[in-house]
Amino acid sequence: MTEDDVRAHLDALAKPRRSLGRLEDIAVSLALTQQRLDPRTRPRRIVLFAGDHGCVADGVSAWPSAVTGMMVATILAGRATSSALAAAHGCDLRLVDVGVASARPVAPPPFFRDARVADGTVSLAHDAAMTAAQFDAAWRVGVEEAQAAVADGAALLIAGEMGIGNTTPAAALTTLLTGLSPVEAVGAGAGADAAIVVTKACVVTAAVARATPLLGHDDRAAIASVAGYEIAAMAGFFAEGAARGATLLLDGYVATAAALVAAHLAPGSERAMIAGHLSVEPGHGAALAQLGLTPMLDWGMRLGEGSGALVALPLVDAAAALLADVARLDAIGAERAD
């Protein structure tokens, strides 16, 4: 099935041609990734991957790493933003610890999975954040989560993240994989002031300078050196979800950095992606452009946790309903004058 086939189907529905604008683009994307004219958005699942970042000790965030563990507990209690939005939109939610530094939480599977690769990354300000083997281990966790979601019937997948400091590796990956400058790639994250943003730019500059020579002959090592465990897991989740014909609804800057990694290591993964929103983070637009994606919403959101994707989710439902439930023009006896 090609884009022309889906457009022809949409044009034959009981409405003027292309009258639903961008909603029709989302319908096309859904139909193409799932290769059916009645794509499914239910059941759907968000997997939240959590990890900590050594660079927080270098002053890149307004928050201490301990907040990652506190938010993990809050998600487990069902009281985070992602919990509320997932419940509001009928989205199954799972939480996976791939690299948190706080004490391991105790919670029942499958809602929670302890798949910790390490207690946080090494600071990318000074050294490689993780080894290629650690990157592979986290990627594999994401692959397994996508396989489990698809096996449970989910056709639409969202990856969210929790990890204080993770807008710094996101900026480093965006710089490494898009060519954006470090200054253009860094932003306020979870509320950093101007001095912290300057520190972030310096840290990203140093990290990318170490990673760039590796790119081209050892891409995994280059990416691993500036990544985070939750980002590596999200990348594996995206690559496997795309390979299995699921639709991937992207969140903000951090999720998109993982999407860039997936597209780099598993080319073509980006064709399964729909961009939920444009984050306030200044590098996000360039990252999405590199993937060939146009964000659905531009609502000034800058949270992560999958929140932007979850807010956009009902619009994706609307696109699926359009394809599946609208009568054809010929079925109602109408013909165009032209």
Ligand X SMILES: Cc1cc2ncn([C@H]3O[C@H](COP(=O)(O)O)[C@@H](O)[C@H]3O)c2cc1C
Ligand Y SMILES: O=C(O)c1cccnc1
Q: Interface with ligand Y by CB under 6 A: which residues? A: 167, 189-190, 251-255, 279, 281, 302-304
Which of residues 34, 121, 167, 256 is near ligand X by CB under 6 A? 167
- d(Cα 241, Cα 246) in Å, to the nearest integer? 5
* Site track 121-160 with ligand X (rule: CB under 6 A), x = hit: ----------------------------------------
Write the CA distances from 311 to 46, 170, 220, 305, 335, integer angstroms: 12, 21, 32, 11, 37
What would the DSSP string read from start to end of 267-302? TTGGGGEEE-B--SSTTHHHHHHHTT---SB-S---
Residue 96 Cβ, how far from ligand X at the closest point, in Å? Answer: 14
Which one of the listed residues 3, 24, 305, 335 is annotated catalytic? Answer: 305
- Residue 56 CA from chain centroid, whole number: 22
What SS3 class is residue 308?
Answer: helix
Eight-class DSSP state of 248: E
For residue 71, the partner it binds in ligand X, ligand Y, none, with Cβ less than 5 to 8 A by kind, is ligand X
Q: How far is the CB of 335 from ligand Y (least distance, A)?
A: 47
Choose one: 29-37, 113-121, 138-146, 186-194; the region binding ligand X (CB under 6 A): 186-194
Tell me how many degrees the CA angle 119-202-225 measures, rounded to the nearest 5.
Answer: 40
Instruction: Report the nearest approach of ligand X to the CB of residue 30 (Å).
Output: 27
The residue among 155 and 171 lying less far from ligand X, judged by its C-beta, is: 171
Nearer to ligand X, 75 or 223 (CB): 75
DSSP-derived secondary structure letter, 327: P
Judged by CB under 6 A, the stretch of 140-148, 163-171, 217-225, 243-251 that binds ligand X is 163-171
Active-site residue flag, 305: yes
Stretch that binds ligand X, among 175-183, 189-197, 282-290, 319-327 (CB under 6 A): 189-197
Stretch that binds ligand X, among 23-31, 91-99, 161-169, 327-335 (CB under 6 A): 161-169
- By a kind-dependent CB cut-off of 5 to 8 A, residue 253 interacts, out of ligand X, ligand Y, none, with ligand Y
- Beta-carbon contacts of 147 under 8 Å, excluding residues fewer than 6 positions away, are 240, 244
CA dist 169 to 2, 60, 80, 254, Å?
Answer: 36, 10, 23, 8
Whole-angstrom distance, CA of residue 253 vs CA of residue 14: 38
CA distance 304 to 294: 18
Residues numbered 286 to 315 that lie near ligand X (CB under 6 A) are 303-305
Spatial separation of the C-alpha atoms in residues 36 and 260, rounded to whole Å: 26
192's contact among ligand X, ligand Y, none, with CB below 5 to 8 A by partner kind, is ligand X
- Which listed residue (117, 192, 227, 313) binds ligand X by CB under 6 A? 192
Q: Count of residues binding ligand X (CB under 6 A)? A: 18
Instruction: Give the one residue of 27, 47, 71, 310 binding ligand X; rule: CB under 6 A.
Output: 71
**DSSP-derived secondary structure for 109-171:** TTTEEE--SSSSPPPTTTS-SS-HHHHHHHHHHHHHHHHHHHHTT--EEEEEEE-TTTHHHHH
Binding residues (CB under 6 A) for ligand X: these are 61, 63, 67, 71, 161-168, 189-190, 192, 303-305
Active-site positions? 305
